[in-house]
Amino acid sequence: MTSTGTLTSQTSTASLPAFALKWPVEKKLRAIQVMKAKLQWSPWAPHYPTPKQKAFLDLEAREAFYGGAAGGGKSDALLMAALKYVDTPGYAAYLFRRTFADLALPGALIDRAHTWLQGTAAKWNDKEHTWTFPSGATVTFGYLESELIKYRYQGTEAQFIGFDELTQFTETQYLYLFSRLRRLAGSEIPLRMRGASNPGGVGHDWVKARFVVPGDSARPFVPARLEDNPYLDQLEYCASLNELDAVTREQLLEGDWDVLPEGNMFKRERAEIVEAIPAAMTRWIRYWDKAGTEGGGDWTAGVLMGMAGRTIFVLDAVRGQWSAANRQQVMRQCASLDAQAYPLVEIWVEQEPGSSGKESAENTIADLAGYSIQAETSTGSKVIRANPFSSQWEVGNVKLLRGAWNKAYLDELSAFPNGVHDDQCDASSGAFAKLAAVQHRSGAVRHA
């Protein structure tokens, strides 16, 4: 449309229905653009993209992320993105879910692709879970049920890799698949890594940090909500989502990446953040929960805690998903820094059950020779172990020394036992138990 509101020479009303010929120029132009989009989009997709899907499909960045709320057309967007270049010889695309069951569910990616492609010239290989197109291009469906399964794809070469429900994957799985994103010299097929997901899940934190928070043009995020998808019965789906708990409802209905589940054992407002600790403190415990592995869902966490009178001070908390070697290095660094800041810090390590847990604890003790370090095997449920610390927290006897770790620590404890992670909580329970054991004998602590 020109500045005077007339149709340009590149547009035509010939294809419009008769009733539309009386529409204003602006409305005619929009209708023509919609009809062009229908004609120009891939013949392998049964419908043309919604505006949000089209924005996602047109992105030229190597990485991009779509979704947020439920019902925004995430799976369709990924499948359309995978199909975009199937008429180009040599093109290969992969679409991943965490498990094969997730791929094969009714309405999931494999079922959806069959609905779209069955009866076309594309051919399905059930053994390889691959569609092959007349050009020779392929779209393959894969899964990454465990961390090591990612190496199954080490010989893969693809120009498109898509992750449906990205927050169900670990960051190391996602990053490893970048090594499979490649093309032949001279090829003009773009290399694309694409993800789509709702908030929540084991990967919530890293997905939010990589795509949602930064607003990085190199990693664009296209948020889409239920109202952006005209293909769904929005009223009925909204009614279904309203049956969920408040946190899950906000995550799925509003695509809220900041809302977190709330537990009932560690109310956020009960903990005071302080600028310094009293000089009267004479005993410190650094307690380690080594549950985490590199790229796994759990974290290794180490909490440093002290007590002055009846007040418990949480002085530091570290956590990470490290390899065994890197974890030992971090533990050595913490032991050294703790010893410089506070005299006679005791180190405790939670020993996992079985011979491998015992061996791991013994290796840690040997590696930290020269420090006061012991291991113990925990018993009872996590909730039962957390109860004594929770009791002190509830009456305001716990204070946190101000630090960059405060937010992640409070986020986890305030969600316990309903949150995704509990490693810092476990380490805190262990540290408090060791402090309280001595304090009780001296009569300094009483149940509130």
- What percent of the chain is modeled with pLDDT above 90? 49
Q: How many domains does the chain have?
A: 3
* 259 domain-assigned: no
Q: pLDDT confidence of 50, banded at 50, 70, 90?
A: confident
Do 115 and 11 lie in one domain? The reply is no
CB 303 within 8 A of CB 317: yes
Q: Express each pLDDT in 398-434 by its tens digit.
A: 999 999 999 999 989 988 887 778 899 999 999 999 9
396 has pLDDT over 90: yes
Domain-ending residue, one of 228, 253, 278: 253
Give me the chain's average pLDDT, please.
84
pLDDT of residue 86: 96
Q: For residues 322 and 378, which has the higher predicted lDDT (pLDDT)?
A: 322
* 261 domain-assigned: no
* 137 domain-assigned: yes
Q: pLDDT confidence of 118, banded at 50, 70, 90?
A: very high
Do 247 and 277 lie in one domain? The reply is no
Do 171 and 73 lie in one domain? The reply is yes
Residues 6+ apart with CB under 8 A from 301: 288, 289, 291, 292, 317, 318, 319, 423, 424, 426, 427
Q: What is the CATH number of the domain that holds 425?
A: 3.30.420.240
In one letter, which amino acid is 97? R
Do 221 and 298 lie in one domain? The reply is no
Do 235 and 323 lie in one domain? The reply is no
The mean pLDDT of 168-193, rounded to a whole number, is: 91
Do 17 and 49 lie in one domain? The reply is no
Handedness of CA 68, 72, 76, 81 (dihedral sign): negative
Q: pLDDT confidence of 58, banded at 50, 70, 90?
A: very high
> Which regions of 328-427 does DSSP assign to beta strands (E)?
345-351, 373-377, 398-401
In one letter, which amino acid is 240? S
* 299 domain-assigned: yes
Do 244 and 305 lie in one domain? The reply is no
Do 133 and 219 lie in one domain? The reply is yes
244 lies in which domain range? 43-253
The mean pLDDT of 387-393, rounded to a whole number, is: 93
The mean pLDDT of 157-163, rounded to a whole number, is: 96
Domain-ending residue, one of 226, 253, 280: 253
* 297 domain-assigned: yes
* 372 domain-assigned: yes
* 216 domain-assigned: yes
Distance CA 55, CA 33 (A): 15
28 has pLDDT over 60: yes
The mean pLDDT of 219-226, rounded to a whole number, is: 86
Q: What is the CATH number of the domain that holds 152?
A: 3.40.50.300
Q: pLDDT confidence of 23, banded at 50, 70, 90?
A: confident
224 has pLDDT over 70: yes
Do 381 and 369 lie in one domain? The reply is yes
Q: What is the 3-state secondary structure (H, E, C) of 171-238?
A: HHHHHHHHHHECCCCCCCCCCEEEEEECCCCCCHHHHHHHHHCCCCCCCCEEEECHHHCCCCCHHHHH
Domain-ending residue, one of 253, 280, 308: 253
From the number of C-beta atoms within 10 Å of its C-beta (0-12, 13-18, 19+), residue 25 rates as: middle
* 296 domain-assigned: yes
Q: Express each pLDDT in 273-320 by its tens digit.
A: 999 998 878 789 999 998 756 555 678 999 999 999 889 999 999 999
Do 101 and 195 lie in one domain? The reply is yes
pLDDT of residue 339: 93
Do 249 and 287 lie in one domain? The reply is no
Do 247 and 163 lie in one domain? The reply is yes
Distance CA 255, CA 145 (A): 25
